[in-house]
Structure 1
Amino acid sequence: MILINLLPHREERRRQRKRAFFAGLGAAAVAGVAAAGVWYVVLQQMTAAQQSRNAFLSAEIKRLELQIKDIAELKSEIEGLKARQKAVEDLQTNRNVPVYLLDELVRYTPEGIYFTTVKQVGDIVTVTGVAQTNERVSEFLRNAQNQSQWLRRPELVEIKAVNLPPTAGSREQRRLFDFSVRVSLTQPAAAQPAAPASAASAPPKAA
């Protein structure tokens, strides 16, 4: 009977399997390290690209902020110019308002009324004077309300009768009426830049 010793062969196969296992384990470790290295490189590239985009966006944002600041300053300058232009236009218009006012008073004041004072405070004009009758004052109020483009909302503040002493040629007392009227001064949209020539030479009262 022939006896064969298989122990060395089995031991050799065990060693081969162990070597193969460690070789596979080493290969897996190398592959894992390589994959981790590749992922790290990719991640670094992605991070660098994102940082580059962030830097570009930051630069663009700063540039836009400068443009917005310039635009805001330009708008402020434009608003300032508009305000100065409006001030000049208002000054040009308001310069002629007293002439228009006197022209309106002369134009729509009936006979028998004499103005003693004309006072303007802002847009409110207060007129005091003397009238021959109450009807003259009422007519003046109607004219200012219905016909004048500059005088609005006329209001009778006060009216009272006064007796004047007789004159040298007459022994009878004269009866007149002192009155005070308040009106609002409104510039019409189609106001002319210059007052009529007749208004410049017209007296502030009507006989």
Structure 2
Amino acid sequence: MIEINLLPVREARRRERVRFQISVFILSLLLVFAIIAYLKWNINLREREVDAQIATVKAELRKLDKVIRDINRIKKEKEKLEKKIQIIGSLERGRMGAAMVMDEISKRVPEKVWLEKMSKNGRSLKLEGIALDEETIANFMTSLEKSQYIKSVELEVTERIESGGVKLKKFSLRCVTTI
């Protein structure tokens, strides 16, 4: 019988398999490196995009900070102006209120009463004057109580005085104004 040596064929197949496996391994390594390079490139690209977005947002924040400072400055100016308007309104009401109170008092002073002094401190009003008698002072107080601008009329002092031989009553009233 003929003997055939199959060892070289087996050896050749084994070498082919080893070459194939080495080729697959090298191609796999190249593929892994290519994937890693692509991912690194993609991550760097996204990082640059995010950095650009961050820079844009920071620029917007700087603009908005300026706008916020302007708004706060305007709010402070508005508060100052509102205070000024409030003070002007208060002064206007006070001026008109004082005129209305004086007009009301002048309408309610009886014939036998002479006012010498009137002083106002806030809402408190003090009237000093001379009357012919206690009844006239009482009528004056009652008349003032009926006023819409004056309340809580109280007699502080009455004293007897004489002027030109006539006996009179000097008085002091305290009351509260409603305006």
TM-score, with normalisation over the residues of structure 2?
Answer: 0.81
Partner of 1:81: 81
Could you tell me which amino acid in structure 1 is paired with residue 65 of structure 2? E
Which deviates more from structure 2 when the two are superposed, residues 129-138 or residues 112-121? Answer: 129-138
Q: Sort the Cα spacing of 1:40 and 1:145 in 2 relative to 1 into closer, same or farther, 3 A.
A: farther
Q: Which runs of 4+ in 1 moved over 6 A?
A: none
Question: Which deviations, in whole Å up to 9, do the C-alpha atoms of 1:33-91 show, x marking residues without a partner?
Answer: 11111111111111111111111111111111111211222232233334334444544
Could you tell me which amino acid in structure 2 is paired with residue 50 of structure 1? V
1:108·1:148 contact (CA, 8 Å) conserved in 2?
no
How far has the Cα of 1:31 moved from its partner? 0.8
Q: Taking CA–CA contacts closer than 8 Å with sequence separation of 6 or more, which of the two structures ends up with the larger relative contact order?
A: 1
Could you tell me which amino acid in structure 2 is paired with residue 110 of structure 1? P
Which deviates more from structure 2 when the two are superposed, residues 136-145 or residues 49-58? Answer: 136-145
Q: Sort the Cα spacing of 1:4 and 1:132 in 2 relative to 1 into closer, same or farther, 3 A.
A: same
Could you tell me which amino acid in structure 1 is paired with residue 176 of structure 2? S
Partner of 1:179: 171
1:144·1:154 contact (CA, 8 Å) conserved in 2?
no
Aligned positions, number: 179
Question: Which deviations, in whole Å up to 9, do the C-alpha atoms of 1:83-112 show, x marking residues without a partner?
Answer: 334444544554565544432321122232
Which deviates more from structure 2 when the two are superposed, residues 4-13 or residues 126-135? Answer: 126-135
The gaps in structure 1 that reach 5 residues or longer are 168-172, 188-207
Distance in 2 between residues matched to 1:21 and 1:177, nearest whole Å: 133
TM-score, with normalisation over the residues of structure 1?
Answer: 0.72
Distance in 1 between residues matched to 2:68 and 2:92, nearest whole Å: 35
Partner of 1:13: 13
Partner of 1:116: 116
Partner of 1:128: 128
1:159·1:177 contact (CA, 8 Å) conserved in 2?
no
Q: How does 1:33-44 map to 2 (within 5 A)?
A: 33-44=33-44
1:157·1:181 contact (CA, 8 Å) conserved in 2?
yes
Distance in 2 between residues matched to 1:110 and 1:146, nearest whole Å: 14
Identity %: 24
2:145·2:153 contact (CA, 8 Å) conserved in 1?
no
Q: Sort the Cα spacing of 1:139 and 1:27 in 2 relative to 1 into closer, same or farther, 3 A.
A: farther
Partner of 1:32: 32
Partner of 1:138: 138
2:144·2:153 contact (CA, 8 Å) conserved in 1?
no
More helix by share: 2
Distance in 2 between residues matched to 1:102 and 1:63, nearest whole Å: 58
Distance in 2 between residues matched to 1:82 and 1:20, nearest whole Å: 89
